[in-house]
Structure 1
Amino acid sequence: MPLLDRIAITHRYTTLPSGFYRYVLPTPLDNPRWVIWNQPLAERFGFPGNANQSSELLKILSGTSFAEQFKPLAMKYAGHQFGIYNPDLGDGRGLLLGELISDSGSVFDLHLKGAGQTPYSRSGDGRAVLRSTIREYLCSEAMAGLGIPTTRALGMMVTDTPVYREKVESGALLLRLAETHIRFGHFEHFFYTEQHDHLQHLADKVIEWHFPQCQHTKQPYLAMFECIVALTADMIAHWQAKGFAHGVMNTDNMSILGQTFDYGPFGFMDDYEPGYICNHSDYQGRYAFNNQPSIALWNLTALAQALTPFIVRADLERALEQFTPRLQSQYSTYMRAKFGLVEKYPEDGAFFNDSFAFMESEGVDYTRFFRALSCLDSHDSASIIDLFVDRTKAEKWLSEYLLRCEKEALKTPERCEQMRKANPKYILRNYLAQQAIDKAEQGDFSLVHTLADVLKTPYDEQPEYNHLAKLPPEWGKRMAISCSS
């Protein structure tokens, strides 16, 4: 394949012992065709501008044809799912094709999701359906646009192969790019199976590939864990500031690089609701929005347990103690930017608490509230007041806010300009994703393309797409999404 010959491909993961993975060829689907190809991202890896017009490349990237440049494999790992350890996990419907080297020299896994059964599929068919593939493509790219650490999507395909879920659906494929697919669950697998030599070998390779700055420290493994703690804290701070709920924070869905991973029943909050649950299978609310910081710490504690063969427990505990202060510091920075209140005053804490309590009691739309607040240089106060039922109390709150803003060094125009860089106008609301899915299932992918374009620059005004920033209809609020795909 001449086109692939121009792409820099490596296979670092295959240098690990065979117990880490199994080689598996994709099971072809019928008549794969592009839904969307991420051209700007593809160009970073040397793909030409017309790559998605190559029928041969389509066959190779969909797994229909064999390419010697790829060495498809399914990773073995384990994990805690809803707090219960499950040893029988692994890549059950996705394959690591190889690793692409970008124009900057960074290495990214190229993963084909929906590629068919593997030794780790359990009773699954190894397939992905169109609706979940659209959701993952759009949300991973939306998160990138928001500046939140995330995996990316290189492309998406639809096929004529039927897939059976609650109903018959179209089989689909996602090409996912990630700096690594190594999860907390990889370490857990080798710890609980007492393969401590493999466990240490994995840690050595993680340090070599992803945390080289740790290699020459006094305690490289501890330094690695400290990095993972910090990166995870930063990711969760981003989620909380943007109102994002992942929905299924199992340890097998936690990246060692603190990047948002495995998009399933996710949701961005509409009305501000700290206890927001987006996964309809989460009956106890374990993964509710306001539980995400504590669950992330729980997951890090599970990872710490897996590292006890070569890191002293007391050191692990001290590293874990850094999680909450790091998250709170990052979150405070992000929220101050959203409110435009950079200077710190003793009374700010009470002001923030009162503001969130008021937003919750009034059911105010989280994203719209902050975007309106950042546009007070061009819109009157009605844009804020109209979001509340209790207008009198809203007017009082706004007066207090504007009084507080007078203590800031920046004047209103400059302050609002900075705030708009922290408060997106556009997010992937679940109802928008559902509308794109409904159209796509009828063969119309136009809204998928539109959303993908708009969400690349969510902080920009893009007035021609104002309708995509409207408040959701009542049916579109608090949509609970299934894990099934």
Structure 2
Amino acid sequence: MPIDPQAYRPEAALLTLGDAFFDPVAPADFPETRLRFRNDRAAAQVGLNTLTDDEWTRHFGRFEPLPDTLPQPLALRYHGHQFRNYNPDLGDGRGFTFAQMRDDRNRLVDLGTKGSGQTPWSRAGDGRLTLKGGVRETLATEMLEALNVPTSRTLSLIETGEELQRGDEPSPTRSAVLVRLNHSHVRIGSFQRLAYERDEAALRKLVGYTLSNLYDEDSDDPVRLLDLVVARTARLSARYMAAGFVHGVLNSDNINVTGESFDYGPWRFAPTWDPAFTAAYFDHQGLYSFGRQPEAIHWGVMQLAVSLRQIADSEPLVAALDTFGPRYQPEVTEAILWRLGVLPRDPDADRDLVQATERALRTSGVGIDRFFFDVFGGDLPDTYAEPWTEVRAALAAYEPRKGRAHSYWSGEPCSMLIEEVEAIWAPIAEHDDWSALNAKVAKIREMGEALAS
């Protein structure tokens, strides 16, 4: 098998936790495996880009074990709050972790699935993923990566030849299995399950695993873990806002402890800076609306603190939790300055510029993607009149962090609004025409290159 022997560094750290943390499972036996998307850019970071297409589909569609890593797929156990209601009947219901390895940054990463079949945690579900859902997740991860949001990457999408019945899609609809590359699948809900079961020994073991393997720290201190998670999730919240992204379902089982966004269902990008904009049609109260995402993530991290209370004193946990807001503010300032394409200047001036930008976006109704495209580098076009006077004056003092020489800036802004997602899906559904998806991925990556620091 042509795996790059220098870049491929297999691991099996998950096994050190013991079988109380997961259930060995078998993948579904699909009628067919038709490769629809392979992310060689991400695969190169873990030494898998040299696989042939046939080998690729065997490993990521039939799940033949990769060498020297996990011997079989593992469905992880966890609980979680779903729309603030606690649910002890969760766990990997249509996915599993089937390999671990080191990436080119020496991080431990997981290969996890979506749509790979039933597990003990499927709760009467079929364990499958619709092809449209796989296409949507591919688009979300590519767009977020380009916009500097910590995210899982879609490594592979394979059509599996089954007809699925779904209430939110025209049915029957086509099926797929997706493989994601993720820094971790350890969720806040992973700790909640152990706290719910009052298993202090297992809680301590998971704290040590997380600090050692995901943060490279020789520690088993729960307070230290919470402090690191607060910092990472504050950054994620800020990057969501700068990207104009709405995850849609920020339940505590969908927030992992490395602050890396993952598991995309009803996501949307907000057309304008509307704090009330929601992604999920079933989010009737706007709990996970665009403007409430930092609050939602902070609330989720609070549940981690509550879980860790069984093995740590309350006072230092509360103190760590209370740093979320003070950490979020400089993170959102930095993230929006990055999208503006200017270098930081002074903390007070930077904060004022960002607040003026948010006010003008909210009151003007200008499209988020249009504005950040036009202003990149700090030169606001003359077509922006009121309410942009304050922003224009503030930008005059800033230096660009990067020029506009890249060919991307000679075209139109790359966006990913719901209408565009539907327009990409339509030719796939009607004619099995994947050209629009491939073109969009290429355009997103071009934008990523133009924005990159």
- Normalising by structure 2, we get a TM-score of 0.89
Residue 375 of structure 2 aligns with which residue? 373
Larger radius of gyration: 1
1:361 aligns with 2:379: no
How far residue 5 of structure 1 moved from its aligned partner, in angstroms, is 9.4
1:402 aligns with 2:392: yes
Residue 162 of structure 2 aligns with which residue? 161
Supply the AA of the counterpart residue of 1:405.
L
How far residue 169 of structure 1 moved from its aligned partner, in angstroms, is 0.9
How far residue 425 of structure 1 moved from its aligned partner, in angstroms, is 3.4
The correspondence for 1:203, drawn from 199, 202, 207, is 207
* Counterpart mapping for 1:12-31 below 5 A: 12-31=13-32
Assess, with a 3 A threshold, how the Cα gap between structure 1 residues 64 and 415 changes in structure 2: closer, same or farther.
closer
Residue 452 of structure 1 aligns with which residue? 441
1:191 aligns with 2:191: no
Distance in 2, Cα, partners of 1:434 & 1:328: 35
Distance in 1, Cα, partners of 2:209 & 2:349: 48
- Structure 1 residues without counterparts, runs of 5 or longer: 385-394, 463-485
Q: Could you tell me the percent identity over the aligned residues?
A: 27
Distance in 1, Cα, partners of 2:231 & 2:106: 24
Residue 63 of structure 1 aligns with which residue? 62
Distance in 1, Cα, partners of 2:92 & 2:47: 27
Supply the AA of the counterpart residue of 1:362.
S
Q: Aligned to 1:98, what secondary structure does the other structure show?
A: strand
Supply the AA of the counterpart residue of 2:191.
F
User: Which string of whole-angstrom CA distances, capped at 9 and with x for unpartnered residues, describes residues 37-58 of structure 1?
Assistant: 1112212222254x242x2441
The correspondence for 1:425, drawn from 405, 413, 424, is 413
How far residue 123 of structure 1 moved from its aligned partner, in angstroms, is 1.2
Distance in 1, Cα, partners of 2:320 & 2:405: 33
* Counterpart mapping for 1:89-168 below 5 A: 89-166=90-167, 167-168=171-172
- Of 103-112 and 266-275, more deviation after overlay is shown by 103-112
Q: Contact between 1:222 and 1:311, CA under 8 Å: does it hold in 2? A: yes
How far residue 376 of structure 1 moved from its aligned partner, in angstroms, is 7.4
Assess, with a 3 A threshold, how the Cα gap between structure 1 residues 188 and 403 changes in structure 2: closer, same or farther.
closer
Q: Contact between 1:245 and 1:289, CA under 8 Å: does it hold in 2? A: yes
How far residue 446 of structure 1 moved from its aligned partner, in angstroms, is 1.2
Q: Aligned to 1:162, what secondary structure does the other structure show?
A: strand
Distance in 1, Cα, partners of 2:47 & 2:378: 44
Distance in 1, Cα, partners of 2:4 & 2:31: 26
Distance in 1, Cα, partners of 2:172 & 2:218: 49
How far residue 265 of structure 1 moved from its aligned partner, in angstroms, is 0.9
Distance in 2, Cα, partners of 1:197 & 1:72: 25
1:171 aligns with 2:175: yes
1:213 aligns with 2:217: yes
Q: Contact between 1:99 and 1:108, CA under 8 Å: does it hold in 2? A: yes
Q: Aligned to 2:88, what secondary structure does the other structure show?
A: strand
RMSD: 2.8
Assess, with a 3 A threshold, how the Cα gap between structure 1 residues 193 and 360 changes in structure 2: closer, same or farther.
same
Q: Contact between 1:77 and 1:187, CA under 8 Å: does it hold in 2? A: yes
| Bigger RCO of structures 1 and 2 (CA < 8 A, at least 6 apart) | 1
How far residue 113 of structure 1 moved from its aligned partner, in angstroms, is 1.5
Q: Aligned to 1:15, what secondary structure does the other structure show?
A: helix
Supply the AA of the counterpart residue of 1:402.
R
Assess, with a 3 A threshold, how the Cα gap between structure 1 residues 272 and 104 changes in structure 2: closer, same or farther.
closer
Q: Contact between 1:137 and 1:153, CA under 8 Å: does it hold in 2? A: yes
The correspondence for 1:440, drawn from 416, 428, 452, is 428
Assess, with a 3 A threshold, how the Cα gap between structure 1 residues 68 and 403 changes in structure 2: closer, same or farther.
closer
Distance in 2, Cα, partners of 1:330 & 1:148: 12
Q: Aligned to 1:180, what secondary structure does the other structure show?
A: coil
Q: Aligned to 2:284, what secondary structure does the other structure show?
A: coil
> Number of matched residues?
438
Assess, with a 3 A threshold, how the Cα gap between structure 1 residues 19 and 337 changes in structure 2: closer, same or farther.
closer
Supply the AA of the counterpart residue of 1:180.
S
Distance in 2, Cα, partners of 1:297 & 1:282: 18
